[in-house]
Structure 1
């Protein structure tokens, strides 16, 4: 360990900021998955081929989701500053970034979950209906059960996307490894810091993707 002591003395702050990035990413991923699951279920139920088709509900909710997905993250982050301050008490730091990250991720994951749910084999759904299963039972035991591997892939994609979003948030006072890379690596012309930050993020993204692929194969 003594060999690496000078390295950690000089660049240890990068790993501290990486820890902040992990808090931002996983907290916002958790909240967005929990909240985004609700509109995904509603969209699936009210779709033209859903269990409870409702064109008005489907079109309105779909429009709202598409509206929020249309905002580039850096613009959304600024636009919802009053909301962020109301919810988190600040728009700076880790707490201030989790809110806009979650808001931007909800429509993203909701659409992914909807797609995953609607890819369920309609033959299985019809078979469940023929056995007298209720809509709730079909949702829980058919739609969700059959979609878990696909939704897991969506969550992996969400986490990887949030890493990129958190880097942009760092440029406006959010902190994290993205802030370090931009402020100390790019703007202060320090290629070592930029390289270290890039390697850390590459390793993290590859690790998340490999874990996601492993879990997908197990669930399949």
Structure 2
């Protein structure tokens, strides 16, 4: 009598189709979340740095309030966050399941993480370069965009790479609650239907995606690092 593992993805066209869909959903989730994370996380990180003690607009009270809010958002486990904001997710995308819905909590969870990465990268910029440009009469906005961001860009790219790699693992976690992607395929077929090779191929594909992202991020960071 054939076992459950005899009906595997390479013998089952339905599983093959689901596998292709799962790969695309994982890429869509990661790409969309990465875009919105960079869009909102970068300015938040710049704001954190500039309001801090070494920033161009140091305001201790505002910095502490914003810093606590960012740390709180980072501390909430992703699964809890995903369930907690279901009403907001429905409001934004009109659904609570699927890869589109998963983008909302993924983005909310990733923005504060990336913002801290940006802040730390800007802190590593030599303050002597900032002071030299200040003595030339440059505005604070000019210093932010043409000194801080220019010098801190390799670190920001590295931080964004780490953020995207973390997002890929979160997309797999999102699959446990209907978020789609390789995570959901691994759970629905690899775990619940005891198809061990489906689980294995999902893990291998996630590792391949993570490796590609990490290699690309490292390459870009090296290319733009002229220090």
Q: Same fold (TM over 0.5)?
A: yes
5 Å-filtered alignment, 1:1-220, equals: 9=13, 10-220=15-225
Distance in 2 (CA, whole Å) between partners of 1:8 and 1:208 is 30
Runs of 4+ in 1 over 2 A off after TM superposition: 6-12
Q: After superposition, what is the alpha-carbon deviation per residue over 1:31-65, rounded to whole angstroms, capped at 9, x for unaligned?
A: 01111112211111111111111001100000100
Q: After superposition, what is the alpha-carbon deviation per residue over 1:184-216, rounded to whole angstroms, capped at 9, x for unaligned?
A: 112221111011111111111111111111111
- Is contact 1:39-1:61 (8 Å) kept? no
Q: Which runs of 5+ in 1 are unaligned?
A: 1-5
- Structure with the higher fraction of residues in helix conformation: 1
| Residue of structure 2 in register with 1:3 after alignment | none
TM-score by length of 1: 0.94
- Partner of 2:137, secondary structure, is coil
- Is contact 1:169-1:175 (8 Å) kept? yes
Q: Which runs of 5+ in 2 are unaligned?
A: 1-9
RMSD after superposition: 1.5
